[in-house]
Amino acid sequence: MRLPSLREHPEIKTLYGYLRPFLGRLIVAMICMVVVAFATAFSAYLVKPVLDDIFLKKDVVKLMILPGVVIVLYLVKGVAMYGQRYLMAFIGQRIVADVRRDMYFHLQNLDLTFFVKNATGVLISRLINDVNLLRGALSGAVTSLLRDFFTIVGLVFVVFYRNWQLACIAMLVLPVAVYPIVAFGRKFFKFSTRSQETIGDLTMIIHEAISGIRIVKAFSMEAYEKKRFSVENERLFNIYMKIQKVRALSSPVMEMLGGMGIAAIIWIGGFQVLKGHATPGTFFSFITALFMLYQPIKKINKSNSAVQEGLAAARRIFGVMAIQPAVKETPGSVPLTRGWQHLAFEDVDFSYGEEPVLSHIAFEMKRGEMVAFVGRSGSGKSTLLNLIPRFYDVTGGQITLDGRDVRQFTIPSLRAQVAMVTQEVILFNDTVRNNIAYGNPSVPLEAVKEAGKQANAHDFIMSLPEGYDTVIGERGVKLSGGERQRISIARAILKNAPLLILDEATSSLDAESEVEVQKALNNLMTNRTVLVVAHRLSTIVRADRIYVLEGGKIVEKGTHESLFRTNGVYRQLFDLQMQNGILAEATAE
Span 132-144, pLDDT tens digits: 888 777 776 677 7
Helix%, strand%, coil% for the chain, nearest 5: 65, 10, 25
Q: How many helices (H) and strands (E) does the chain have?
A: 22, 10
Q: Is the pLDDT of residue 464 over 70?
A: yes
d(CA 199, CA 394): 35
Local confidence band at 173 (pLDDT 50, 70, 90 cut-offs): low
* Strand (E) or helix (H) holding 293: helix 280-321
Least confident interval from 342-351, 422-431, 514-523, 580-589: 580-589
The least confident of 320-334, 393-407, 478-492, 570-584 is 570-584
Percent of the chain with pLDDT over 70: 79
DSSP-based three-state secondary structure for 409 = strand
According to the per-residue pLDDT averaged within each range, which of 10-14, 318-322, 394-398, 535-539 is highest? 394-398
Would the pLDDT of 2 be above 60? no
Q: For 322-375, what is each residue's pLDDT tens digit?
A: 888 888 888 989 999 888 899 999 999 998 877 889 999 999 999 989 999 988
Number of Cβ atoms within 10 Å of the Cβ of 483: 22
pLDDT, tens digit (0-9, with 9 covering 90-100), for 107-158: 888 888 888 788 887 888 888 888 888 877 777 667 777 777 787 777 777 7
Higher pLDDT, 502 or 180: 502
**pLDDT, average across residues 264-289:** 65
CATH of domain 11-206+234-321: 1.20.1560.10
- Choice among 16-30, 223-237, 260-274, 376-390 with the minimum mean pLDDT: 260-274
Q: What type of residue sits at position 43?
A: S
pLDDT category, 8, cuts 50, 70, 90?
Answer: low
Is residue 170 predicted with pLDDT exceeding 80? no
Q: Which residues contact 356 (CB under 8 A, 6 or more apart)?
A: 349, 350, 552
pLDDT value, residue 3: 47
Q: Is the pLDDT of residue 159 over 60?
A: yes
d(CA 505, CA 481): 11
Residue 589 has pLDDT above 90, yes or no: no
User: Using one digit for the tens of pLDDT, what is the confidence trace for 292-321?
Assistant: 777 777 677 667 777 777 888 888 888 888
Whether the CB-CB separation of 436 and 470 falls below 8 Å is answered with no
578 contacts: CB under 8 Å, gap ≥ 6: 586, 587
> Between vectors from CA 117 to CA 116 and to CA 122, what angle results, nearest 5°?
105
pLDDT in tens, 35-79: 888 887 777 777 777 666 666 667 677 677 777 887 888 899 889
The pLDDT of residue 10 is above 80: no
Q: Rounded to the nearest 5°, which phi and psi values hold at 499?
A: -110, 125
Contact 381, 373 (CB under 8 A): yes
Q: What's the pLDDT band for 227 if we cut at 50, 70, 90?
A: confident
For the chain, what is the mean pLDDT?
80
188 vs 423, higher pLDDT: 423
Cβ neighbours for 110, distance < 8 A, ≥ 6 positions apart: 323, 325
Residue 413: what pLDDT? 92
In angstroms, what is the C-alpha Rg of the chain? 35
The pLDDT score that the predictor gives to residue 557 is: 92
Sequence spans of domains, the chain: 11-206+234-321
Q: What is the pLDDT of residue 587?
A: 39
3-state secondary structure 304-368: HHHHHHHHHHHHHHHHHHCCCCCCCCCCCCECCCCCCCEEEEEEEEEECCCCEEEEEEEEEEECC
Q: Looking at the predicted structure, is the pLDDT value of residue 88 above 80?
A: yes
In sequence order, the 6+-apart residues with CB closer than 8 A to the CB of 96 are 131, 134, 135, 138, 139
pLDDT tier, 269 (very low <50, low <70, confident <90, very high otherwise)? low
**Mean per-residue pLDDT for 473-488?**
83
